[in-house]
Structure 1
């Protein structure tokens, strides 16, 4: 059975990640895994200083530096265990009494890639603890994860509110149709009102494509489905509509196959992640 994997750290988003992971786990009835990764790039397991100084008289100094590095890794490991325990308590307060606690030492993106075969949805905060810029920025690890992994990823800003209304960004592309097919059949958003938003020219063809998408949703039991066709810049139009309609979750496809499409859609995705005040669920084909 595939798991819901929530990545926690010492950032402001850790609580939101726990809350989002708990909500998803209960909605889709899948086990919740709380994951803490001790990133090798930040906390190397050991430091090889041989040859750095080149003088035998400095051997003692090299040994002390190596010991300090090992101690730093041990402290980080213990801190990670404490963070996992706090996360366990938080999800218990939301009804998840037996989450799996998992701690790994390795490169962050590689670790997630190793786990993705058993991951149904990966939950991440918009910023990690190693990112010290403004609240609107996104962490470098997050961009790498989105570009590398093929599983579904939910990215949450600090503060998570259980979604009551959902926005699905729809452009009738093959990717969007696949996302529509999956989300319409998923228990994740069953019973929640949906808004299908297409950003493009107000043509009869686009109206027809939106209507077909609405009928597909309704055929799968989603009776409260609103469609909207708006013109304008993708990011600003989508986010403006989300705020106007007070929608709590954005669902969209991420990336395509061609390098050109990957760049364009990737840029759109990054901007949306930076500016959105609500979680975004990214789905791949």
Structure 2
């Protein structure tokens, strides 16, 4: 079998979601590290959630419409000021890191705007908690959840701090989503030189090992070696977390939802549990 040995990355444009949170700072650092190393370009995207601002507080009673409009105007102005500061900070970071960048500001529903812009990018970098939707209480929103179920590009979801990526765990459950995530991981060729362990959680060990051997051959066809093949019985989320801790994993690759989650919405899935507990970057695709 011939090998596909890639000499460089297979991507050129990164879409970075900027919401002004601590996760944004971390996501910016990760995106800049990748872009600097692989001569890629980052689009920093800030969004003003006009539908959320407009619906905040509900309908105004008769006689209070003027005050309601004034309050909405003030909310929009504050959101605009926040977006400007976010983009200025992004621009300063890119300049200091000598990274090529573009700035994109938009209004609308955050999820829809990100998906629309992602059509022209190879993957998205965003926080594992997102704060794009208008919410004065500062609670996390559902933007990442929607991107993972309905988006069209791979997502690197990152915690609120950065770390060097040297050891990678690839979780494979034989689902289409898991296979697609692995395909994108190999094709992007960002971390193909790292130490890679492939994990399959399977009550049928013979079947699990057979799947891992097939997948190892696929990695080999890209000229990518694997450190270990691991088949374990048990609960997928618990075993994945156990391997992350035992092997000091820096990056997890997995499907946005797996074989047992196909008929579920994102909440309650193995992926959701991992994102809440892992505290490391996770590369996801569906």
Distance in structure 2 (CA, Å) of the matches to 1:251 and 1:142: 16
Q: Residue deviations 1:223-261, cap 9 Å, x none? A: 3432111111111110110111011111111247x9962
Q: In 2 relative to 1, CA 41–63 (structure 1 residues): closer, same or farther, beyond 3 Å?
A: same
CA contact (8 A) 2:148 2:285 kept: no
TM-score where L is the length of structure 2: 0.83
Q: Which residue of 2 aligns with 1:72?
A: 75
1:32-71 pair list within 5 angstroms: 32-44=42-54, 52-54=60-62, 58=63, 62-71=65-74
Distance in structure 2 (CA, Å) of the matches to 1:265 and 1:195: 25
CA contact (8 A) 1:38 1:77 kept: yes
CA contact (8 A) 1:45 1:73 kept: no
Deviation at 1:24, TM superposition (A): 3.2
Instruction: Flag structure 2 segments of 5+ consecutive residues without an equivalent.
Output: 1-10
CA contact (8 A) 1:108 1:141 kept: yes
Instruction: Flag structure 1 segments of 5+ consecutive residues without an equivalent.
Output: none
* Higher CA-based Rg: 1
SS of residue paired to 2:157: strand
Q: Which residue of 2 aligns with 1:107?
A: 109
Q: In 2 relative to 1, CA 260–252 (structure 1 residues): closer, same or farther, beyond 3 Å?
A: closer
Deviation at 1:153, TM superposition (A): 1.0
Indicate the larger mover: 240-249 or 197-206: 197-206
CA contact (8 A) 2:178 2:285 kept: no
CA contact (8 A) 1:3 1:33 kept: yes
Deviation at 1:202, TM superposition (A): 5.3
Q: In 2 relative to 1, CA 265–44 (structure 1 residues): closer, same or farther, beyond 3 Å?
A: closer
Q: In 2 relative to 1, CA 275–215 (structure 1 residues): closer, same or farther, beyond 3 Å?
A: same
SS of residue paired to 2:264: helix
Distance in structure 1 (CA, Å) of the matches to 2:145 and 2:244: 23
Q: Which residue of 2 aligns with 1:200?
A: 202
